Amino acid sequence: MFDIGFWEILIIGIIALLVIGPERLPEVARTIGKWVGKAQRFTQSMKNELNSELEKNDLKEALEEPKKALNELQQSFHDSQSAINQETADVLDIMDDTPLSQQKRDDLDEELDGLDDLDNLEYDKPKKAQKSTKKDD
């Protein structure tokens, strides 16, 4: 982490022993150990949080492309639907404006009005089939 070797640690230990003294050295070592542990946990939690945020950003970026494609597809669908609706409306307008088609519709309406209701129709009852007189061999 700090690129400190064995000899550097030994020199720091000797200086600490001379400055602090042998009675307080274990207590100070425990306190320093706690601080180092807290610092390591803090840096580890920061790394984990940073990595999770980067993963979230990567996922968001990965989802952006399919979202754009989906939006383009929806826009294309709506454009096609509008074009089809417009063409249908144009065809219906042309059909309504055509006098021949109006005349044919009127003729068909008259023919349909002239037909009797199907409920009132009388039809012959089917005759019973006669038995065959031929003998089977």
Percent of the chain predicted with pLDDT > 70 = 75
Is the model's pLDDT at 117 over the cut of 70?
no
Residues contacting residue 13 through CB under 8 Å, at least 6 positions apart: none
Q: From CA 80, how far away is CA 87, in angstroms rounded?
A: 10
Q: For residue 62, what pLDDT band results from cuts at 50, 70 and 90?
A: confident
Mean pLDDT, the chain, whole residue set: 81
Placement of tokens 């950003």 in the chain: 57
- H or E element, residue 18: helix 6-20
Angle between helices 25-97 and 6-20 (to 10 degrees): 120
Is the model's pLDDT at 40 over the cut of 90?
yes
Is the model's pLDDT at 1 over the cut of 70?
no
